[in-house]
Amino acid sequence: MAITREQVLHVARLARLRIPEGEVEAVQAQLGAILDAVSKVSELDLAGAEPTSHPLDLVNTWDEDISRPSLPREEALANAPDPAENAFRVPSAG
Amino acid sequence: MTWEPVIGLEIHVQLKTRTKMFCRCANVWGEDPNTRTCPVCLAHPGVLPVPNRRAIEWTVKLGLALGCEVAPRAVFARKNYFYPDLPKGYQISQYEQPLCGPGRFVVPGPAGDHEIGIVRAHLEEDAAKTIHVGGAAGRIHGAETSLVDFNRGGTPLVEIVSEPDLRSAEQAKRFLQLLRQTVVELGISDAEMEKGSLRCDANVSVRRAGEAGYRTKTELKNMNSFTFVARGIEAEVERQIATYEAGGEVVQETLHFDPQTGSITPLRSKEEADDYRYFPEPDLVPVAPPAELVASLAAAIPELPGARIRRLEQEIGFDLAEGLVTSGRDRLYERVEGDRRAVANVIMNQLAGAGVDTERVDPAELGRLIEARERMPRTVFDEAIGRAAEPGFSAAPYLEQQAVSDAGELEPAISAVLAAHPDQVAAYRGGKDGLLGFFVGQVMKATGGKANARVVSELVRERLGA
Amino acid sequence: MTLDTLRLTAEETAGLIERREVSPRELTGAYMRAIDERDGELHAYLHVAGEIGPGVPIAIKDCITTSGVPTTAGSRILQGYVPVFDSTVFARCRAMGLPLIGKSNMDEFAMGSSTENSAYGPSRNPWDPERVPGGSSGGSAAAVAGGLAPWALGSDTGGSIKQPAALCGLVGLRPTYGTVSRYGVIAFASSLDQVGPITRTVRDNAWLYSIIAGRDPLDSTTVDLPEQVRVPTAESLNGLRVGVPRELNEAEGIEPGVTASVQRAIALAEELGAEVGEVSLPRSVEYGLACYYLIAPAEASSNLARYDGVRYGYRAEAPADLLDLYERTRWEGFGAESRRRILLGTYALSAGYYDAFYGQAQKVRTLIGQEFAAAFERYDLLVSPTSPTVAFRIGEKAENPLAMYLSDVLTIPPNMAGLPGLNIPCGLSEGLPVGLQLIGPQFSENLLFAAGHALERAIGFDPVPERLR
Ligand SMILES: [Mg+2]
Ligand SMILES: [Zn+2]
Reported as a single tens digit per residue, the pLDDT across A69-90 is 999 999 999 999 999 999 999 9
Interface of A with B in 7-26 (CB under 8 A): 13-14, 16
Based on the domain organization, do B311 and B191 belong to the same domain?
Answer: no
Residues in C closer than 8 angstroms to B148, CB to CB, are 310
* B contacts of A87 (beta carbons < 8 Å): 33-34, 131, 147-149
DSSP label at residue C280 = -
Weakest-pLDDT range from B225-229, B268-272, C126-130, C246-250: B268-272
Q: Are the beta carbons of C324 and A94 separated by less than 8 Å?
A: yes
Query: What pLDDT, in 10s, does the model give residues B436-449?
Result: 989 998 998 888 87
Average pLDDT, chain A: 94
Question: Given this model, what pLDDT does residue B139 score?
Answer: 47
Residues of C243-272 as b/e, b for ≥16 C-beta within 10 angstroms? bbbebbbebeebbebbbebbeebbebbeeb
Extended strands (E) in C100-258: 100-104, 151-156, 171-174, 194-199, 241-245
Domain ranges, ordered by start, for chain A: 5-41
Q: Is the distance from CB of C375 to CB of C422 less than 8 angstroms?
A: no
Sequence-distant (6+) residues with CB within 8 A of B222 are: B199, B200, B201, B256
Residue pair C265/C459 in contact by the 8 Å Cβ criterion = yes
Q: Residue type for C162, please?
A: K
Across the interface, of B90, B148, B275, the residue whose CB is closest to C302 is B90
Give this prediction's pTM: 0.92
Is the bond preceding residue B162 a cis peptide, omega within 30 degrees? Answer: no
Residue C132 CB-density burial (10 A; 0-12 exposed, 13-18 middle, 19+ buried)? buried
Among the listed residues C242, C25, C261, C60, the one whose alpha carbon sits nearest the alpha carbon of residue C143: C60
CATH number of A5-41: 1.10.20
Q: Which of B377, B399, B421 is the last residue of a domain?
A: B399
- Domain count for chain B: 3
CB spacing of C343 vs A31 below 8 angstroms: yes
pLDDT computed for residue C260 by the predictor: 98
pLDDT value of residue B448: 81
Backbone angle region of C110, left / alpha / beta, with phi > 0 → left and psi within -120 to 50 → alpha: left
Residue positions counted in chain A = 94
List of chain A residues whose C-beta atoms are within 8 Å of the C-beta of residue C357? 38-39, 41
Q: Is the pLDDT of residue B127 over 80?
A: yes
Strand spans (E) along C227-333 = 241-245, 275-279
Helix A24-38 with C282-303: angle, nearest 10 deg: 140
Cβ-proximal residues to B187 (8 Å cutoff; 6+ apart), any chain: none
Q: Residue B120 belongs to what H/E stretch?
A: strand B112-125
Beta bridge partners of B8: B203
Confidence of residue C351 (pLDDT cuts 50, 70, 90): confident
Position B246 in a domain: yes
| Type of residue at C417 | A
Reported confidence tier of residue B431, pLDDT bands at 50, 70, 90: confident
Taken in order of first residue, the domains within chain C and their CATH numbers are 10-282+366-468 (3.90.1300.10)
> How close, in Å, is residue C23 to chain A by CA atoms?
35
Short-list C422, C430, C437, C424, CA closest to C463: C424
Buried b (16+ CB within 10 A) or exposed e, C92-109: bbbebebbbbbbbbbbbb
What is the predicted pLDDT for the residue at A70?
98
* Domain assignment present for B297: no
> Residue C432 has what pLDDT?
98
How many angstroms separate the CA atoms of B93 and C137, rounded? 33
Q: Establish if B300 belongs to a structural domain.
A: no
A73–B39 CB contact, under 8 Å: no
Q: Are residues B73 and B114 in the same domain?
A: yes
Given a cut of 70, whether residue C265 has pLDDT beyond it is yes
Adjacent-strand bridge partners of B266: B255
Q: In which band, very low, low, confident or very high, does the pLDDT at B143 lie, cut at 50, 70 and 90?
A: low
CB–CB of B44 and C63 under 8 A?
A: no
pLDDT value at position B377? 79
On the question of pLDDT at B268 being above 70, the answer is no
Give CA separation, C377 vs A57, B126, B437, C242, C244, in Å. Answer: 19, 47, 91, 11, 14
Query: How close is the Cα of B90 to the center of ligand 1, in Å?
Result: 12
- Residue B60 belongs to some domain of the structure: yes
Q: Are residues B64 and B200 in the same domain?
A: yes
Query: Pairing between strand B112-125 and B103-109?
Result: antiparallel
Q: What's residue B466's pLDDT?
A: 52
Considering the domain boundaries, does residue B270 fall inside one?
yes
B207: Cβ contacts below 8 Å, ≥ 6 apart: B3, B4, B6, B213, B214, B215
Across the interface, of B34, B36, B53, the residue whose CB is closest to A62 is B53
Contact state of C311 with B275 under an 8 Å Cβ cutoff: no
Residues B411 and B392 in one domain: no
Based on the domain organization, do B177 and B312 belong to the same domain?
no
B372-381, C13-22, C30-39, C44-53: the lowest-pLDDT one: B372-381
Query: Distance (Å, rounded) from C-alpha B380 to C-alpha B448?
Result: 11
Give pLDDT, residue B259: 86
Q: Which residue of A has its CA nearest to B143?
A: A92
Q: Does B207 share its domain with B321? A: no
Instruction: For strands C432-439 and C381-385, give the pairing.
Output: antiparallel
Distance CA A53, CA C401 (A): 26
* C433 confidence band (pLDDT: 50, 70, 90): very high
Summarize the confidence of residues C238-252 as an average pLDDT.
Answer: 97
Same domain, yes or no: B323 and B384: yes
Contact C346 A31 (CB under 8 A): no
| C-alpha to C-alpha distance for B231 and B247, rounded to whole angstroms | 24
Both B210 and B94 in one domain: the answer is: yes
Q: Which of residues 198-257 of C touch B (CB under 8 A)?
A: 217-221
Residue B356 Cα, gap to closest chain A Cα (Å): 35
B46-74: average pLDDT: 98
**Residue A68 C-alpha, separation from nearest chain C C-alpha, in angstroms:** 13
Each residue's pLDDT tens digit, C363-420: 999 999 999 999 999 999 999 999 999 999 999 998 899 999 999 999 999 999 999 9
Closest Cα in chain B to C217: B50
The domain of B440 spans 407-463
- Residues of chain C with Cβ-Cβ distance to B49 below 8 Å are 220
Q: Do B423 and B387 sit in the same domain of this protein?
A: no
Q: Say yes or no: B113 and B222 in one domain.
A: yes
Q: Could you tell me which residues are beta bridge partners of residue C341?
A: none
Give backbone dihedrals phi and psi of B373, rounded to 5 degrees, phi first. -60, -30
Q: For C302, which residue in chain A has the nearest alpha carbon?
A: A15
Question: Looking at residue C2, what is its pLDDT?
Answer: 80
B50 and B133 in a single domain? The answer is: yes
Subunits adjacent to chain A (3 or more Cβ pairs under 8 Å): B, C
Beta bridge pairs of residue C437: C384, C423
Report CA Rg, chain B: 28
A52 touches chain B (CB under 8 A): no
Q: Has residue B219 got a pLDDT over 60?
A: yes
- C62 in Cβ contact with C46 (< 8 Å): yes
Q: Does B338 lie in the same domain as B210?
A: no
Give the CATH number of the domain where residue B440 resides.
1.10.10.410
Cα-trace Rg, chain C: 21
Q: Which long-range contacts (CB under 8 A, 24 or more apart) does C7-10 make?
A: C7/C147, C7/C463, C7/C464, C8/C150, C9/C150, C9/C199, C9/C200, C9/C201, C9/C203, C9/C204, C10/C56, C10/C150, C10/C151, C10/C199, C10/C200, C10/C201, C10/C204, C10/C207, C10/C208
pLDDT at B269: 56
